[in-house]
């Protein structure tokens, strides 16, 4: 699984980083989220799916 965060959509709601802190890191300056790595570890895939559903801005996509 690969994950992408659309920086135009992300408004820094932080839910993704709370749900999957090993996958998403928040920028100290603008609070936007980005993946630590584009490829998601297998044991984090369920959490990433949950983060996709939880993001109010629909900023996270997976493939």
Which residues contact ligand F3S (rule: CB under 6 A)? Answer: 5, 10-16, 33, 55, 57, 59-60
DSSP character at residue 42: G
C-alpha–C-alpha distance, residues 57 and 40, integer Å = 21
DSSP character at residue 36: S
Contact 17, 60 (CB under 8 A): no
> C-beta of 41: minimal distance to ligand F3S in Å?
18
> C-beta of 62: minimal distance to ligand F3S in Å?
12
Closest to ligand F3S by CB, 14 vs 49, is 14
> C-beta of 7: minimal distance to ligand F3S in Å?
9
């Amino acid at each position: 699984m690969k994950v992408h965060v659309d920086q135009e959509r992300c408004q820094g709601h932080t839910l993704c980083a709370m749900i999957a802190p090993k996958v998403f890191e928040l920028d100290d300056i603008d609070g936007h989220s980005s993946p630590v790595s584009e490829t998601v570890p297998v044991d984090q895939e369920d959490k990433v799916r949950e983060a996709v559903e939880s993001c109010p801005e629909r900023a996270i996509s997976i493939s």
